[in-house]
Amino acid sequence: MFHPTVARLTYRALLGRRRALILFALPTLLVVLAIAVRALANADDSTAGGILGHFALGTMVPLIGVIAGTGAMGPEIDDGSVVYLLAKPVPRSTIIFTKLFVAIGVTVTFSALPVLFAGFVLNGNSQQMAVGYAVAAAIASVAYSALFLLFGTVTRHAVVFGLVYALVWEALMGSLIPGAQTLSVQQWALAVGQRVAADGAITSEVELPVAVCLLVALTAVSTWYAGRRLKALTLAGEE
């Protein structure tokens, strides 16, 4: 289910000059913001929760997911080079799982680790907040990677759809509208982080069992359908 050559090519595409600049810029901004707030305002738990919950988990993590998830497959479909990949004797499911694995690795590295570091800077991991938000970021990274990989497989406008989802649904509606929060990856991930952190340190609008089921379902269905679409693309190319 993992192909080293496909993984190497995917890493090279994701960490190319343009994408790498964005991938490094977002976590760098989070860390700089955390250092500035701690130096100027001596941040408490409430401030730390606001930065880690709203900016990091609500905006930074889904944006990194968009870059990694859509970039794992979308560019190859856009420029037609996917034909050469599909011509290799590699099962289509292996291609999808390998690209998903790479996208998850990149997203976790550029989101969960900076969140953990920023949390320690802001309040020294008081009430296990840094660890809780880092776990939530890692869990969200898996679901976002699968969802945005699917976007990259089914549409040439994957980045546009991904940005709309990340900035409008997750950052705006998913944070403010109660009904939309039930269908928010951010809230599902926060439910997991809530269990890791101290009582009351992190809150979620979704119960943990429901959140885990929805996270697993979204990841599994997105991965499965991306594989189906890749097989359909193969048949279309042969015809």
Q: How far apart are CA 208 and CA 216, in angstroms?
A: 12
Taking a C-beta distance cutoff of 8 angstroms, is the pair 187, 204 a contact? yes
For the ranges 3-12, 126-135, 228-237, the one whose mean pLDDT is highest: 126-135
Both tokens of residue 233? 């693309």
Q: Look at residue 148 in the predicted model and tell me its pLDDT.
A: 96
In the predicted structure, residue 238 carries a pLDDT above the cut 60: no
Taking a C-beta distance cutoff of 8 angstroms, is the pair 43, 55 a contact? no
Q: Look at residue 106 in the predicted model and tell me its pLDDT.
A: 95
Mean pLDDT of 18-32: 91
Please report, for residues 18, 51, 64, 103, the alpha-carbon distance to residue 23 in angstroms, rounded to integers and kept in the order given.
9, 19, 6, 12
pLDDT tens-digit profile of 184-194?
A: 899 999 999 99
pLDDT tens-digit profile of 64-79?
A: 999 999 988 877 777 7
Taking a C-beta distance cutoff of 8 angstroms, is the pair 144, 107 a contact? yes
pLDDT band per the 50, 70, 90 thresholds, residue 234 = low
Mean pLDDT of 93-118: 94
Q: Tell me the whole-structure pTM to 2 decimals.
A: 0.92
pLDDT tens-digit profile of 171-186?
A: 777 666 767 778 889 9
Q: How far apart are CA 71 and CA 80, in angstroms?
A: 14
Helix (H, G, I), strand (E, B) or coil at 239: coil
In the predicted structure, residue 237 carries a pLDDT above the cut 60: no
Helix (H, G, I), strand (E, B) or coil at 203: coil
Mean pLDDT of 211-232: 93
Please enumerate in sequence order all residues whose Cβ is within 8 A of that of 181, keeping only pairs 6 or more positions apart, or say none.
Answer: 174, 175, 187, 205, 206
pLDDT band per the 50, 70, 90 thresholds, residue 239 = very low
